[in-house]
Amino acid sequence: MATGRNHRPATRSRGIPEATVARLPLYLRALTALSERSVPTVSSEELAAAAGVNSAKLRKDFSYLGSYGTRGVGYDVEYLVYQISRELGLTQDWPVVIVGIGNLGAALANYGGFASRGFRVAALIDADPAMAGKPVAGIAVQHTDELERIISDNGVSIGVIATPAGAAQQVCERLVAAGVTSILNFAPTVLSVPDGVDVRKVDLSIELQILAFHEQRKAGEEAEASARKGPDGDMPAVMPA
């Protein structure tokens, strides 16, 4: 929240702006790839390019972490991995439940990237009684009747919703009542949650629609450019008198 007389960007704990927090996973992904290749140091320009971020923005983001790099050497890759992981709360294990084990829920359960980033799939939950006990990604699916007990037994604070849109709000309310305070929602619906509960929404069709917008704009620009060139390529369509 903006405080005082100066208008400041929205910040999280310890004064790190929300926009910086949103870029930390991008840096971490690029740094993890460097670490896997045993690269010891990286310049802000190289890392910015690998993360797809402007390098001045990267330096500013890292200054919030108290990380300034060494002139002529760059940033220590391992130390930055540690610093960013700590800032994102990834130095601890986060148990996660996935609710709705259809096509998407099963794909998410099978995704190895959660565990490698510190997110342990503690349980898979579905309302279909026929699913109960069936193994998905090596974990037996449990019925929604068990939802509250599962959340409490595993100390789960993060829930993933992959149910049909019509069921998502009710699932969300049950998760929150049981103690979940962060929700990753894949269902195409806006969830209402009480204060203190964070919701992140993932919608691939929205991303595709944005790409479609850019495709349309590019096609329009190309059409305009070729109309300007005229039928003979680089000749202007209208010759000056």
Contact positions vs ligand NAD (CB under 6 A)? 99-105, 126-128, 144, 162-165, 167, 171, 186-188, 202-204
Binding-site residues for NAD(+), in ranges, read: 100-105
Strand partners, 121: 96
Q: Minimal distance in Å, beta carbon 144 to ligand NAD? A: 5
Q: What is the DSSP string of the chain?
A: ---SSS----B-GGG-BHHHHHHHHHHHHHHHHHHHTT--EE-HHHHHHHHTS-HHHHHHHHHHTT---BTTTBEEHHHHHHHHHHHTTTTS-EEEEEE--SHHHHHHHH-THHHHTTEEEEEEEES-GGGTT-EETTEEEEEGGGHHHHHHHHT--EEEE-S-HHHHHHHHHHHHHHT--EEEE-SSSPPP--TT-EEEE--HHHHHHHHHHHHHHHHHHHHHHHHHH-TTSSS-SS---
Please, which residue, 77 or 141, has the CB nearer to ligand NAD?
A: 141
Q: Minimal distance in Å, beta carbon 47 to ligand NAD? A: 29
Please, which residue, 116 or 205, has the CB nearer to ligand NAD?
A: 205
Please, which residue, 69 or 100, has the CB nearer to ligand NAD?
A: 100
Q: Minimal distance in Å, beta carbon 98 to ligand NAD? A: 10
Q: Cα dist. 2→8, 11, 14, 66 in Å?
A: 5, 8, 14, 22
Q: Minimal distance in Å, beta carbon 126 to ligand NAD? A: 5
Please, which residue, 152 or 226, has the CB nearer to ligand NAD?
A: 152
Q: Minimal distance in Å, beta carbon 198 to ligand NAD? A: 17
Binding-site residues, in ranges, read: 100-105
Instruction: Report which residue's Cβ sits closest to ligand NAD.
Output: 102
Please, which residue, 28 or 160, has the CB nearer to ligand NAD?
A: 160
Q: Cα dist. 158→88, 154, 199, 228 in Å?
A: 14, 11, 10, 55
Q: Minimal distance in Å, beta carbon 106 to ligand NAD? A: 7
Please, which residue, 208 or 223, has the CB nearer to ligand NAD?
A: 208
Is residue 154 within 8 A of residue 123, CB to CB? The reply is: yes
